[in-house]
Chain A
Amino acid sequence: MTLITRADTADGTPALHNLLNGPLDQRWAPRLEALLGAGTAAGADLVEVFLERTDHLGVLAEQDTITSVTPAFGMGAGIRVFRNQRDGFVCTNDLSEAGLQRALEQALGMLGLELGGLNRNPFAGLPALRDFAASKGDWLQRSPELLEATQALLGGTNQLLNHGQHLQVRRGSYARDWQEVLVAASDGTFGRDIRLHQSVGLNVLAADGDHRAGVGRRYGSADRPDDLREWRVEDSAQEVCDSAAAMLYADYVEAGQMPAVLANRFGGVIFHEACGHLLETTQVERGTTPFAERVGEPIAHSAVTAIDEGLTSGAFGSLSMDDEGMEAQRTVLIENGVLKRFISDRAGELRTGHARTGSGRRQSHSFAAASRMRNTYIAAGPHTPEALIASVDRGLYCKSMGGGSVGPTGQFNFAVEEGYLIENGTLTKPVKGATLIGEAKEVMPRISMCANDLELAAGFCGSVSGSIFVTVGQPHIKVDSITVGGR
Chain B
Amino acid sequence: MASLNADQLGQTLSRLAASNGIRQWDLGAACSSDTSVQVDRGEPKQLKGAQRSSITVRVWNGDGLVGTTSTSDLSDSGLERALTGAQAASAFGNPDDTPAFSPLATAPVAQLDQPLHAPQGILHLLHTLKDAEQELLGRHSAIGTVPYNGLAERSSERLYLNSDGARRQQRLTTASVYLYARAEETGRKPRSAGAMRLAYGASDLDIAGCIDEAAERTISHLDYAPIQTGHYTCVFSPEAFLDLIGAFSSLFNARAVLDGVSLSNRDSLGQALAVPFLDLHDNGLHPGNIGASAFDGEGTPTRRLALLEGGVLRHFLHSEATARAFGVDPTGHAGLGAKVSVGPDWFEIGPTPGSGGGQAGLNRFQADQPLVWIDSLSALHAGVKASQGSFSLPFDGWLVEGGHCRSIEAATVAGDIRQVLQSIVGFEGEAKITPDGLCPMVWVDGLSITGEA
Contact = CB atoms under 8 A, between A and B. Distances in A.
B370 interface: no
A169 B415 contact: no
Interface in A17-34: 17, 20-21
A395 B201 CA distance: 53
B339 A73 contact: no
A76 interface: yes
Contact of A404 (B74, B379, B415, B450): B379
A461 to B, nearest CB: 12
A90 interface: yes
Given A69-B67, A89-B49, A485 B260 contact: no
Contact of B190 (A21, A85, A88, A409): A409
A437 B412 contact: yes
Contact of A486 (B180, B192, B414): B414
Interface stretch (A183-191, A315-323, A329-337, A411-419): A411-419
B332 interface: no
A91 interface: yes
Contacts of B378: 405, 407, 413
A146 B88 contact: yes
Contact of B390 (A85, A150, A404, A432): A432
Interface in B137-170: 144-145, 147-148
Interface string A396-436: 00000011110111110111000000000000000011110
Contact of B92 (A93, A111, A146, A439): A146
Interface string A75-115: 11000000001111111111000000001001101111000
Given A73-B81, A403-B382, A408-B192, A368 B48 contact: yes
B120 interface: no
B51 A94 contact: yes
Interface string B392-406: 111000000000000
Interface string A56-85: 000110100111111111111000000001
A71 B452 contact: no
A150 B74 CA distance: 28
A435 B393 contact: yes
B46 A89 contact: yes
Contacts of B145: 286-288
A483 interface: yes
A403 B415 CA distance: 18
A74 B338 contact: no
Interface in B275-295: none
Q: Which of B260, B378, B379, B448 counts the most A-chain CB atoms under 10 A from its CB?
A: B379
Nearest to A57: B89
B49 A106 contact: yes
A394 to B, nearest CB: 16
Given A214-B387, A287-B182, A402 B382 contact: yes
Contact of B148 (A70, A85, A403, A408): A408
Interface in B46-82: 46-54, 67-75, 77, 81-82
Task: Specify the main secondary structure of chain A where it touches its partner.
Answer: strand
B306 interface: no
A213 interface: yes
A256 interface: yes
A403 B381 contact: yes
A65 B46 contact: no
Contacts of B393: 435
Interface string B91-112: 0111011000000000000000
Nearest to A74: B72
B189 interface: yes
Contact of A415 (B190, B261, B383): B383
A246 interface: no
Interface string B186-228: 0001111000000000000000000000000000000000000
B338 A255 contact: no
A130 B148 CA distance: 37
A455 B38 CA distance: 39
Contacts of B9: none
Interface centre among A67, A403, A434 (most CB of B within 10 A): A67
Contact of A146 (B89, B96, B388): B89
A91 B72 contact: no
A487 interface: yes
B89 to A, nearest CB: 4
A433 B414 contact: yes
B358 interface: no
B229 interface: yes
B50 A169 contact: no
A20 B71 CA distance: 14
B387 A212 contact: yes
Contacts of A287: 144-145, 147, 182
B259 interface: yes
B385 interface: yes
A438 B452 CA distance: 9
Interface string A186-217: 00000000000000000001000000111000
A119 interface: no
23 contacts: A69-B67, A69-B89, A71-B68, A72-B69, A73-B82, A86-B44, A87-B47, A90-B50, A106-B49, A146-B88, A205-B260, A214-B387, A255-B448, A287-B182, A404-B379, A405-B379, A407-B192, A408-B180, A435-B379, A435-B394, A484-B450, A485-B392, A485-B411
Interface of A: 17, 20-21, 59-60, 62, 65-76, 85-94, 103, 106-107, 109-112, 146-147, 150, 168-169, 205, 212-214, 252, 255-257, 285-288, 366, 368, 402-405, 407-411, 413-415, 432-435, 437-439, 483-487
- Which 8 pairs of residues, A with B, have the shortest CB-CB distance? A485-B412, A74-B72, A255-B450, A403-B382, A110-B47, A68-B339, A286-B147, A72-B70
Given A73-B73, A432-B390, 17 more contacts: A65-B94, A71-B70, A72-B69, A73-B82, A86-B44, A103-B51, A110-B47, A169-B387, A252-B414, A255-B412, A405-B381, A408-B192, A415-B392, A437-B410, A439-B189, A483-B410, A483-B412
